[in-house]
Structure 1
Amino acid sequence: MKTDYDYIIVGAGSSGCVLANRLSADPAVSVCLIEAGSHDNSLRIQTPAGTITLYKSRKYSWNFFSAPQKNLNGRSLHTPRGKALGGSSSMNSMIYIRGHASDYDRWAQAGCAGWDWNSVLPYFKKSENNRLGQDPRLHGTTGELNVEAARDPNPVSKLFVKAAQRIGIRTNDDFNGEQLEGCGIYNLTQKDAKRLSSYRAFVAPVLDRPNLTVITDCSVQSLILEERVAKGVRVVSDGQAMALSARHEVILSAGSLGSPSLLLASGIGPEQELKNAGIKVEHDLPGVGKNLQDHLDGLITIRSKSPLTLGFSLGSLPSIVLSPLRYLFGKKGWLTTNYVEAGGFARTPLADALPDVQFHFVPGYRSHRGRLFEWGHGYAVHTCVLRPKSIGELRLDRDGKPVIDFNFLSDPQDAKVLVEGLKLARRILADQQFDGIRGKEMLPGAEVQTDEQLMAYVREYAATVFHPVGTCKMGVDAMSVVGADLTVHGIQGLRVVDASIMPTLISGNTNAPCIMIGEKAADMILRAHAFTPGSERAREQAGQLAAPSAPESQLS
């Protein structure tokens, strides 16, 4: 195996795959992309409906569990992350959401120059291949990432959108257009009725590049540091320990749990915590692992006898039996579903001018017992706190394993917003649109009505939506880990490029923003090394995304 490269990228997830594509576009530059998981050549990954089988998979998921959450009755929350080429983009629900323009303006206002909405929009557009004819001021059509409409949404998902409209929540056909607020059917990252992960979009088409090496089933143990300069990584591959060296940079794209864990394992982090974990301190950087944020979610699930909904029953047996044929020959039917087909963004009475909750509607029964499958039919809506104030952390124990403490509901305002969001979701489900398929509310249950009862329900059942960010925060304050160029403070030749650099959580699903982060980081890296001998292609690419001369339209 070749052991020396110009760039080593740790993590083949949403950001890392974009980096691998853009950096290896220069044939004079050698790039190594390392993934701890295996290949993605499984029908469970490629078929959209297979996503439901991945979250607890031993092969394709890092089945982390959080530390006991003191404000959630001491429960440890299941925290899956993708463990395959594509990372979590190979197991997510394929929803394409960028967030609100103000999310990025807030980053810039906190000292992250160049990360305001007008500056990041060109990078969103660069990756996108919008197949919906949406506003060209805000969407791209020449990128690798297909954005398509759901191929065959369940009719019950459409009922949810109509019911939301009837209670005053506008219908929104483009959550990445002029307005985020509203409900609609989500647009998806799919191609030919298959999942389009970051790996499939950005790396699989360029695997024939001789200067791009992709290594799977390879565990990175630590960084190689010499006088606070990153020189490479120590890995275990095929049972053998070895060192890989990087002439230019090591780039961590292992996600909000993986990247800080690797920094800490390498002796970069809060000095006292490293000593407590028995790790030699290489560089005291207090913010590593801090600032953990995620969307907290509450579920309303309804039992229904209607076979219109997704589910297992004698009545649905014909559609289940025919679903493989419908998928193979018409690219329709159950196997095309991403389950959370509809949803949107709304304001509770506690909101200001911006939405403060997001809905994910499932046209099938979500088990009230936490099972993967339940016999019968129903529908459900997840409601999450869009801009949480609660902040947690990640640290390593004495065995080097991550301790993930979301610290959910440490700010009581989050609990109040979630309770109001659940009440709003109930209003939607109570609309007459659902009269024909109405059933029994299993969770929270008809007996749970007061704010106090709903608060107790949240503490007993709320969970994460799987959007962890922030543990290698970008910024200029004492707790920031990287600067606006994503280089690690105090260490040369090392960057972090993934969701962990987000100073604050964006308003929505995180896959599209992570791809944008990869695009912008690649441009910065190409500019930084534009005058390295042999990198004419890099100089060429570095000039392709100049900032727009006039402000683009913003999401309002």
Structure 2
Amino acid sequence: MSDGLQTYKGEFAARVAANQAQRLANLRKTYDFIVCGAGSSGSVLARRLAENPAVHVLLIEAGGSDDRPSVMEPAAWPTNLGSETDWGFVAEPNPELNGRAMPMSMGKVLGGGSSINVGVWARGHRSDWDYFAQESGDESWGYESVLGLYLEIENWQGAPDPLYRGTGGPVFVQPTPDPGPAALAMLDAALELGIPTYDSPNGQMMEGDGGCAISDVLTRNGKRHSIFRAFTYPYLDRPNLTLLTRTQVNRVIVQNGRAVGVEAVRDGVVERFDAAHEVILSLGAIMTPTVLMRSGIGDEDDLRAADIKVLHHLPGVGRNLQDHVSFGCIWEYREPIAPRNSGSEATLYWKSDPALSEPDLLFCQVEFPVPSPETAGLGVPEHGWTMFAGLAHPKSRGRVRLSSGDLLSLPRIELNTFSHPDDLRAAVACVQLCRDLGNTRAFEPLVAREAMPGPLGQADMERYVRDAAVTYWHQTCSAKMGRDALSVVDGSLRVYGVEGLRIADGSVMPRVATGNTMAPCTIIGEKASRYIRAAHGV
């Protein structure tokens, strides 16, 4: 291949490189299926379709090889932010964030977000999946059905648990190995506050009120084991799977109401690839609606404003954008403690109001100081740890819009954080619980002082929250699954009004899942493959 897959090591890697070089030299005009995007969902989907040797699959990825230290070394994930493996999106300036324009990193590399994230495997809460089933009208999206899929795809390395963990699948999941003292202190801190702890965050803990646990992670032999590595890479030596890297999809080609192919840009040249059966967009919650709109599918007023011919009026495209917003609270260590693993080893979910039926707060511990650019001026300790206190179910809704109709133009992102007043109130409660956790007796042996925010009055705390707010990089929901006027796909992930076109990525979530989104996106790819294979008898 032209992009570095030849640098993978070993006999199998050589076979992959030779096969993909041959595929590249003999590109077909038509493939049975075209999967756009090699992230968490697209990687699963391409593999599952290619399992049938009679099916020819083209997988297109805008980014390049994942064979680089920033990806493969779990602790190096922060070095991806702002690099060539990151789309580097920035949301529009937001008056609710004191005029700040929030950076919104997304993976632009084989594996997508699963190659540049913290590596946490979080399945989502029971209520998430039951809500997806309710919105779609398809019971197979419900928790019990999805739990069965998780058992099928996991290769669990922890203590045996046949009710909640599978062992025969491609996803190599393990509890964070040898967690550090701050992570263990977090478990004790939770117990001090009456929050239960669990052996794993995936299982009973996410069927009720929540709790605290050491995170499950996708690492294998000390290296990142992304969804691309788990699903797609083992099939790249097969003649029916073609991978194009550094190739950006510009639009879907629609003729007579049917998706028949894609227009993509490779090495500066516009190329067309046709799909005999289906085109599937797995480009993520920013680029999937962008490509739809550039294809003439979206709100007709927005399309006309960008001078794009309207092929199908679908007003929900780009709407309902959601993300987990986070607020960093930082403590200074008494003595330096080196981060272990990815530097994020413990997680906690809890409720801002005991009357709630499910957790609405998300906490992720990071074993080094992580301020926002605005809070950095408050004084960041040289050695310390951060609690990312976040909203698991924000009520604010954003939108993705076209900036223009030009080839490969990047979109405008209106994240609209805190546009719903309930989110600011929940954020203040979230930070207070965060402070309570960090100031427990459990942390006293490790912590010299609370560096930020400290005990602030209501007005100052609200100002702090607005300045501290950052993304969890969990952008989702901008092409949602459902049955109302703003739904973009049905329960089988087919785009309304366009034949032969589906979406399989986090944009189809009706609401953002509780917790990190990699695992739910893997399930979305798995379910898409089953719908497609059943529809076409492959």
When normalised by structure 2's length, the TM-score is: 0.90
Contact 1:69 1:75 survives alignment (8 Å): yes
Aligned to 1:203: 232
Q: How many residues align?
A: 502
Contact 1:256 1:469 survives alignment (8 Å): yes
* Equivalent of 1:473 in 475, 480, 488: 480
* Equivalent of 1:269 in 295, 298, 318: 298
Contact 2:372 2:467 survives alignment (8 Å): no
- Give me the whole-angstrom Cα distance separating, in 2, the residues matched to 1:394 and 1:482: 17
- Superposition map of 1:478-493 within 5 A: 478-493=485-500
**2:533 partner amino acid:** L
Aligned to 2:135: 110
Structure 1 window deviating more from structure 2 (209-218 vs 237-246): it is: 237-246
CA shift, 1:375, in A, is: 7.7
Aligned to 1:187: 216
Structure 1 window deviating more from structure 2 (121-130 vs 41-50): it is: 121-130
- Superposition map of 1:520-535 within 5 A: 520-530=527-537
User: Is 1:70 paired with 2:95?
Assistant: yes
Deviation sequence 1:42-75 (CA, Å, 0-9, x none): 0111010111111221x11010000112211121
- Superposition map of 1:331-346 within 5 A: 334=340, 337-346=341-350
* Equivalent of 1:421 in 430, 438, 446: 430
User: Is 1:248 paired with 2:272?
Assistant: no
Aligned to 1:412: 421
SS in 2 for 1:179: helix
SS in 2 for 1:292: coil
User: Is 1:158 paired with 2:158?
Assistant: no
User: Is 1:502 paired with 2:509?
Assistant: yes
* Equivalent of 2:166 in 136, 140, 145: 140
**1:485 partner amino acid:** S
SS in 2 for 1:415: helix
CA shift, 1:263, in A, is: 0.1
Contact 1:366 1:378 survives alignment (8 Å): no
Aligned to 2:319: 290
Structure 1 window deviating more from structure 2 (130-139 vs 401-410): it is: 130-139
- Give me the whole-angstrom Cα distance separating, in 1, the residues matched to 2:277 and 2:271: 19
Contact 2:328 2:371 survives alignment (8 Å): no
User: Is 1:358 paired with 2:362?
Assistant: yes
CA shift, 1:105, in A, is: 1.0
- Give me the whole-angstrom Cα distance separating, in 2, the residues matched to 1:130 and 1:438: 34
* Equivalent of 1:397 in 392, 403, 416: 403
- Superposition map of 1:433-448 within 5 A: 433-444=442-453, 446=454, 448=455
- Give me the whole-angstrom Cα distance separating, in 2, the residues matched to 1:338 and 1:498: 25
- Give me the whole-angstrom Cα distance separating, in 2, the residues matched to 1:52 and 1:205: 27
- Superposition map of 1:361-376 within 5 A: 361-367=365-371, 369=373, 376=382
SS in 2 for 1:413: helix
The 1:25–1:362 alpha-carbon spacing in structure 2 relative to 1, beyond 3 Å, is same
Contact 2:504 2:528 survives alignment (8 Å): yes
**1:160 partner amino acid:** M
Contact 1:35 1:85 survives alignment (8 Å): yes
Aligned to 1:228: 257
Q: In structure 2, list runs of 5 or more residues that go unmatched.
A: 1-26
Contact 1:96 1:147 survives alignment (8 Å): yes
The 1:309–1:368 alpha-carbon spacing in structure 2 relative to 1, beyond 3 Å, is farther
SS in 2 for 1:82: coil
CA shift, 1:156, in A, is: 1.7
Aligned to 1:91: 116
Structure 1 window deviating more from structure 2 (489-498 vs 115-124): it is: 115-124
CA shift, 1:89, in A, is: 0.5
**1:78 partner amino acid:** P
SS in 2 for 1:81: coil
- Give me the whole-angstrom Cα distance separating, in 2, the residues matched to 1:423 and 1:433: 17
Deviation sequence 1:467-509 (CA, Å, 0-9, x none): 1111111111111001011010000000000000001111111
Contact 1:292 1:394 survives alignment (8 Å): yes
Q: In structure 1, list runs of 5 or more residues that go unmatched.
A: 311-333, 531-537, 539-556
CA shift, 1:450, in A, is: 2.3
Aligned to 2:245: 216
Aligned to 1:347: 351
- Give me the whole-angstrom Cα distance separating, in 2, the residues matched to 1:61 and 1:404: 16
CA shift, 1:365, in A, is: 2.3
- Give me the whole-angstrom Cα distance separating, in 1, the residues matched to 2:137 and 2:222: 38
- Give me the whole-angstrom Cα distance separating, in 1, the residues matched to 2:249 and 2:487: 24
- Give me the whole-angstrom Cα distance separating, in 2, the residues matched to 1:369 and 1:278: 37
Contact 2:175 2:200 survives alignment (8 Å): no
When normalised by structure 1's length, the TM-score is: 0.88
User: Is 1:48 paired with 2:74?
Assistant: yes
- Give me the whole-angstrom Cα distance separating, in 2, the residues matched to 1:413 and 1:465: 19
Contact 2:119 2:342 survives alignment (8 Å): yes
The 1:268–1:462 alpha-carbon spacing in structure 2 relative to 1, beyond 3 Å, is same
SS in 1 for 2:106: strand
- Give me the whole-angstrom Cα distance separating, in 2, the residues matched to 1:383 and 1:257: 24
Contact 1:358 1:383 survives alignment (8 Å): yes
User: Is 1:12 paired with 2:42?
Assistant: no
Aligned to 2:335: 306
Contact 1:144 1:201 survives alignment (8 Å): yes
CA shift, 1:121, in A, is: 2.1
Aligned to 1:386: 392
**1:281 partner amino acid:** V
User: Is 1:28 paired with 2:54?
Assistant: yes
User: Is 1:127 paired with 2:124?
Assistant: no
Contact 1:183 1:345 survives alignment (8 Å): yes
Aligned to 1:550: none
The 1:368–1:71 alpha-carbon spacing in structure 2 relative to 1, beyond 3 Å, is closer
- Identity fraction in percent: 40
The 1:134–1:256 alpha-carbon spacing in structure 2 relative to 1, beyond 3 Å, is farther
